[in-house]
Amino acid sequence: MQKITETRAPFLVGLIESWDDEENIFYVMRLYPQTLRDRMSCRPRMTRCQTRYHIAEMVIALHWLHTNGIVHRDIKPENILMTPRGHLVIGDYGLSRMVPDGTPVSEWRIERECAGSPGYSAPEVISSPYTYGIMADVYSLGLVSAEMASRRITPYFVCRTASEQLAMMKKQYRDGEFIPDNGLQIEDEHEKDLVLKTLKWDPSQRPTTAELKVHPYFDGIDWAMLNLRRYQVDVVPTTVKLSEEYPSYDFFTFKQGKDKTAYYGEDVEYDKHRHILPNNAVKAQLGEDRAKQVEYRYLCPAPLRHDDLHGHCTLDPPSPAGCP
């Protein structure tokens, strides 16, 4: 988390602040209005062009993690968040592992440890001898991409346990190749090719994130532009989950995590105009005195906002081949 925060990787959730008391650890992070799961199930559905940008953003994020020696181990739509401008960021490093110093990332293996989320794990993670490396993340990315590309709103493998997933998976493979059933219809040939390659049973046959970047599916994408978030990728999510648990305030909401993690509202695209809510829930967690020490700033009206880190989003993006 520290490494991710220090380098300000644009497609990863970073920490704003953290502290602890005797019982809790508090993490302050940007508040994102939607997860990718929410986005996938709301209308308007993603266009093919948006899907392609989103998959490209996931590839950049994963490439950053892998080249920095981090295996995420829990890539799934619930752990991918969306900024108000519709860009993707990967979060939830609860299961992530760092490659030990001096070990080449591509050679490092985690042994005898089955971890992840049923429905999104790679075969080597959930089958004996439970030995895997960074390619397990590529597999999970493949499953998320498959869902996006085929416009599904439910996981491809709907299951509650790893063994259920493994049993479902075994029926979908022939000679190590993923043979999609009717639930996975991907029209675009390149899109399908990318998905099938990432879903190879044998991890050594899957493409690395560097290889994915040069796959023909991404032809025409300017990765430097994408990295700077210059592309207008998606509609701005306008639906913010509201419930008694998440009191709403302006565009942002405060969420008190189950595990007493504190999330604060912030204009996520504009670091300068942070907005931390003077919310009773915050006070209850931090104590009145601690809450007072937190700086409260208010959102700047939209036309006055500037974004030093990412520049202005191009509203009229250059259209790579195949996009309207």
Ligand X SMILES: Nc1ncnc2c1ncn2[C@@H]1O[C@H](COP(=O)(O)OP(=O)(O)O)[C@@H](O)[C@H]1O
Choose the one of ligand X, Mg ion, none that binds residue 31, judging by a C-beta under 5 to 8 angstroms depending on kind: ligand X
CB of 63 to ligand X, least distance (A): 21
Choose the one of Mg ion, ligand X, none that binds residue 122, judging by a C-beta under 5 to 8 angstroms depending on kind: none
Choose the one of ligand X, Mg ion, none that binds residue 35, judging by a C-beta under 5 to 8 angstroms depending on kind: ligand X
CB of 33 to ligand X, least distance (A): 7
CB of 91 to Mg ion, least distance (A): 7
CB of 253 to ligand X, least distance (A): 8
Q: Which is nearer to Mg ion, 57 or 92 (CB)?
A: 92
CA distance 46 to 52: 10
Q: Which is nearer to Mg ion, 119 or 203 (CB)?
A: 119
Q: Which is nearer to ligand X, 29 or 162 (CB)?
A: 29
CB of 298 to ligand X, least distance (A): 19
- Name the residue number minimizing CB distance to ligand X: 92
Q: Which is nearer to ligand X, 92 or 137 (CB)?
A: 92
CB of 264 to ligand X, least distance (A): 9
Choose the one of Mg ion, ligand X, none that binds residue 176, judging by a C-beta under 5 to 8 angstroms depending on kind: none
Binding site for ligand X (CB under 6 A): 13, 29-32, 35, 78-79, 81, 91-92, 94, 255, 263
User: Mask of contacts with Mg ion, 55-94, x by CB under 5 A?
Assistant: ------------------------x------------x--
**Residues in contact with Mg ion by the rule CB under 5 A:** 79, 92
